Structure 1
């Protein structure tokens, strides 16, 4: 197998999470993040106008959807962006169970519940965004040219 250095590996691999959970995923690239941010922005805009799509991710009325507070809207937008990156880069998981103890489907509801846990959310963010953090910290991700 050949690997292009400096490019995100698009081949999924198994990543171990706490509590015996395994997630088959690839690293996110800038397109994944940009597309997820755009989709999350549209959903939040729709919610501000009265849509209730957050329930697909397990965030219903009980979580409070008062978007008069822009900070709350921004927080939910960040959560939705992460959930949509999850949808794009994760192809399978094991060790995640539903309420009855059966393997949970890889659905928006269970993705949302999974990411509501701060430990799993942090582990996913660290794994999914690893390559993006490198690119951001290096500028454009390319080595300096011989002429500077």
Structure 2
């Protein structure tokens, strides 16, 4: 497994452990029974584990995006047209950009470019490591985003 996948796996395992602890210590069993009953009624048996995994993925992603809001926004010259998704930018910034997952905040992928919020002290490192590299058949431009 790559370093990025190891980091994501470790964070998911710790999130699952924390969730299980909350369920066993704090959750109201009657409330959970109601949700469980609705879930069983509406989600077919063969899709329950996939639906649960998707819900967990959404919860983890929204939590990680909310973590960093006061950083610096960078412009990245690739977007949906190059089939780039937020996970691709996370892998790029962690691998080639030499950042930690905690340095990365909100990611907006538009048609031909993207914006990524990172910690202010990590921005120069990311720009130095990523600006001008070849990514998916195109020279990447990474610089500070202009304010609206």
TM-score (norm 2): 0.28
The TM-score, its normalising length taken from structure 1, stands at 0.28
Structure with higher helix content? 2
Which structure has the higher relative contact order (CA within 8 Å, separation 6+)?
1
In our comparison, the structure showing a higher alpha carbon Rg is 2
Q: Judging by fraction of residues, say which structure has more strand.
A: 2
